[in-house]
Amino acid sequence: MTRIAVAGASGLIGSALVRSLTTDGHEVRRLVRRAPRAADEVRWDPRKGEVDTGGLAGCEAVVNLAGAGVGDHRWTDAYKREIRDSRVLGTTTLAEALAGLPTPPRVFLNGSAVGYYGSTGSRPVDESAPAGEGFLPSVCVEWEAATAPAHQAGIRTVLARTGLVVSRAGGAWAKLFPLFKVGLGGRLGDGRQYWAYIALHDQVAALRHLLDTEELSGPVNLTAPHPATNREVTAAMGRVLRRPALFPAPAGALRLVLGEMAGDVLGSTRAVPTRLLESGFEFAFPDLDQAIRAA
């Protein structure tokens, strides 16, 4: 049995990861921002840069998936600060704390996103590609750089650049299922933008693969092997749910409703999981229809 600490344990991916780990007999310590109510909870305050290092003692791995939801609110200046600070401050707090432990964990697995690459059109990008331009790429650059204290302390540090997680339980895809179920789904803009997606099952399996694969460090794309265009996503959703998908959302309307966030909805990121595949990972749901059915 291995002791693993998880920040962001109540989120879509974090809760699924915790279930997977505990089912297999691992001891999980969940980081919480309030007073602990259970023996498996560890207090932290990322805004103040504080964490109960005693609760991290003996952990062989620490996973940080904490961060405000990118699509939860319209991007006001205040919410953009929340998106950035919730990631960068939390990562800094953990990286510095782990670097100062007498016996640090063997691996620090930190969240990131394929938003790092920005909009790349139809050009495939893997982990060797540079950062893009715009708000989300700038956040991802700072987010990843905040892991430096752990890396410099000799802790194997992995950056999980996650795509759009296909799930009904949360995340961006959860907003699509209700629309398509009642026949109101349709493409966004011209539908030619690429979505780098991954089934929730594969996301959790990939995270566990990163924890266990000693030769992996640095950025790793967590996306299915073949990104799909939004037009293909629309067709697959209609096909799997057996509903028409006839109601496109014009780009202008999206910009009016979503504001700055529309640039990311209409943007195209054709990210591919080169390093994940090279390390021997096998997807359970590599196909878009399979991923939607699994959800």
User: Cα separations (Å) of 115 from 49, 159, 162, 268?
Assistant: 25, 13, 8, 10
Q: What is the DSSP string of 64-106?
A: E-----TTSS---HHHHHHHHHHHHHHHHHHHHHHHT-SS--S
Taking residues 145-151, report their average pLDDT: 98
Residue 196: closest CA among 135, 279, 264, 257: 264
Q: What is the pLDDT of residues 58-99, one digit of tens each?
A: 999 999 999 998 877 777 889 999 999 999 999 999 999 999
**Percent of the chain residues topping a pLDDT of 90:** 77
**pLDDT over 80 (residue 224):** yes
Residue 133, Cβ density class (10 Å: 0-12 exposed, 13-18 middle, ≥19 buried): exposed
Structure token digits, residue 17: 């990861």
Cα dihedral 152/281/24/37 (nearest 10): 50
- The per-residue pLDDT for 244 is 83
Structure token digits, residue 117: 């690459």
Phi, psi of 180 (to 5 degrees): -70, -30
- Could you count the other beta carbons within 10 Å of the beta carbon of residue 49? 14
- The per-residue pLDDT for 143 is 98
- The per-residue pLDDT for 147 is 98
Q: What is the pLDDT of residues 180-205, one digit of tens each?
A: 888 877 787 888 999 999 999 999 99
Among the listed ranges 116-120, 128-132, 230-234, which one has the minimum average pLDDT value?
Answer: 230-234
Relative to beta strand 194-195, strand 228-229 is antiparallel
User: What's the whole-number average pLDDT of the chain?
Assistant: 91
Reduce the DSSP state of residue 27 to 3 states and report it. strand
Q: Are residues 136 and 113 in contact, defined by beta-carbon separation less than 8 angstroms?
A: yes
- Report the amino acid identity of residue 27: E
Residue 139: closest CA among 81, 197, 74, 96: 81
CA gyration radius, the chain: 19
DSSP tag of 236: H
Among the listed ranges 2-11, 122-131, 217-226, 242-251, which one has the minimum average pLDDT value?
Answer: 242-251
**pTM for the structure as a whole:** 0.94
Q: What is the pLDDT of residues 260-272, one digit of tens each?
A: 655 665 578 999 9
Relative to beta strand 50-51, strand 164-166 is unpaired
Taking residues 157-184, report their average pLDDT: 88
- The per-residue pLDDT for 262 is 54
Relative to beta strand 27-32, strand 41-45 is parallel
CA distance linking residue 173 with residue 151, whole number of Å: 33
Phi, psi of 44 (to 5 degrees): -150, 160
**pLDDT over 70 (residue 166):** yes
Comparing 170 with 205, the larger pLDDT belongs to 205
- Report the amino acid identity of residue 91: T
**pLDDT over 50 (residue 288):** yes
Confidence of residue 254 (pLDDT cuts 50, 70, 90): very low
- 242 Cβ contact partners less than 8 Å away, ≥ 6 residues apart: none
Architecture of domain 3-294: 3-Layer(aba) Sandwich (3.40)
Q: Are residues 32 and 43 in contact, defined by beta-carbon separation less than 8 angstroms?
A: yes
Among the listed ranges 93-107, 158-172, 218-232, which one has the minimum average pLDDT value?
Answer: 158-172
Taking residues 154-162, report their average pLDDT: 98
CA distance linking residue 286 with residue 289, whole number of Å: 9
Structure token digits, residue 53: 């290092």
